[in-house]
Amino acid sequence: MVKEFDLIVIGAGSGLNLIPENIKTALVEKGPMGGTCLNRGCIPSKIIIHSADVAELLKRADDFGIKASIKGIDFAKITKRSSKIVDTDAGEIEKSIRSSKHITLFKGIGKFIAERTLKVGKNIIKGKKIIIAAGARPTIPPIKGLDKVKYMTSTEALRITKQPKILTIIGGGYIAAELAHFYGALGTKINIVQRNVRLVPREDGEISEKFTDIFKKKYNVYLEHAVNKVEKKGKNYYVEIERKNGGGRKVLVSDSLLIATGVTPNSDTLDLSKTNVKVNKYGYIISNDYLETTAKNVWVLGDIAGKYLFKHSANLEAQYASLNALQNKRLKVDYKAMPHAIFSSPQIAGVGYTENELKEKGIKYAIGKYNYIDTGMGIALQDNQGFVKIMADPKTRKILGCHILGNEASTLIHEVILAMRNDLTVDDIMNTVHIHPALSEVIQRAAFRIK
């Protein structure tokens, strides 16, 4: 028997944000409610990373005239605290969904068997409209021997209760950066194997270069290295790496192994061949500016759409999907000034173009840079590494991009996001009164540097 619904939502992450209270809805989700962000992404990672931030500050206590030391790390307490918060929230969301009169929850993997028709376990459901928000999962690279050993992805790395003595991380993007900081600040010896010439290579060049230099002083960073094979003997992992330019091979020995090489969209789990929903060569579901897929009455949002792989962008898309799919609007998603941040140490935040992108597109620009240490609060924090880089159109003075490395970068960037979203100029930032000596003065002073 086919159960019919006005709407089917696949995925209980940002997909939850668009379910109205007045239509018959089926929600398909195999795992805990809340999606990647709540269960294995931004929320648990930031909870545990705060412990690393505290530990790192304690190590610097002497710089501020305070004698302090870390007597021990209760690693299990750190991760259990995070897991408890996350699991409680996920449970409360599920409880709320199950008590709803208009939502029916189908726990399991949904697979299409026809247009707008899915099979979930023994249930067959059909929707007048469908919104796919099925997310993505960690990418597992085809490394020899990897399929024969037990390794961690970000999912497991956030929940283990025994701290590794030595951790080898394969990958050098933002997940690798954040988890290296978490484990490293708490005392784990860190190896990072990165194929690129820099860590976090998608960031502005100056930002990623400085960040890489900082990490190389704290951890064992192997740039431009490929992984040939992985073995496990006894309790240890043996990771053979080779420099890409032929600089020789090396074997890294560690008691833990983390794979952090990006994400893969979950489109391959949906059996989309039974529908007119098309994917691109990377597996992301193809959609237009209105989040419409290539199939009638099917929309997509979040990581599986592959436009921006952020929770805040998925929430934005959910707003538009709700309007376009459920209220028959036709509004293009406004991604203007889409920001991001990396919660490592130091933090990184960015919005708009990088300098390399401006050069590639032939866009004229002027740069304003300012160091944290040249501000009153920067001196107080003794942040000798942080800086702000703003790029603007020389004529219109409109902001083209801003990139920050240093303390509270993820918070400082919001002044620039607001300016860009509202077509303000660097002059507007310059002429705004900033509290002295708040750290935000570094933004204003970077703006003053643009000529």
CATH number, domain containing residue 409:
3.30.390.30
User: Which positions of the chain have pLDDT values less than 70?
Assistant: none
For residue 17, what pLDDT is reported? 85
Domain hosting 276: range is 2-137+264-326
Strand order in the sheet with 256-259: 220-223, 189-194, 166-170, 256-259
Domain of residue 188, CATH code: 3.50.50.60
Q: Is residue 121 domain-shared with residue 256, that is, in the same domain?
A: no
For residue 38, what pLDDT is reported? 83
Q: Is residue 371 domain-shared with residue 443, that is, in the same domain?
A: yes
For residue 447, what pLDDT is reported? 98
Q: Is residue 128 domain-shared with residue 271, that is, in the same domain?
A: yes
Q: Is residue 246 domain-shared with residue 318, that is, in the same domain?
A: no
Q: Is residue 51 domain-shared with residue 159, that is, in the same domain?
A: no
For residue 244, what pLDDT is reported? 86
Q: Is residue 104 domain-shared with residue 66, that is, in the same domain?
A: yes
Q: Is residue 167 domain-shared with residue 254, that is, in the same domain?
A: yes
Q: Is residue 94 domain-shared with residue 164, that is, in the same domain?
A: no
Q: Is residue 19 domain-shared with residue 38, that is, in the same domain?
A: yes
Q: Is residue 252 domain-shared with residue 357, that is, in the same domain?
A: no
Q: What is the C-alpha separation between 35 and 433, in angstroms, rounded?
A: 40
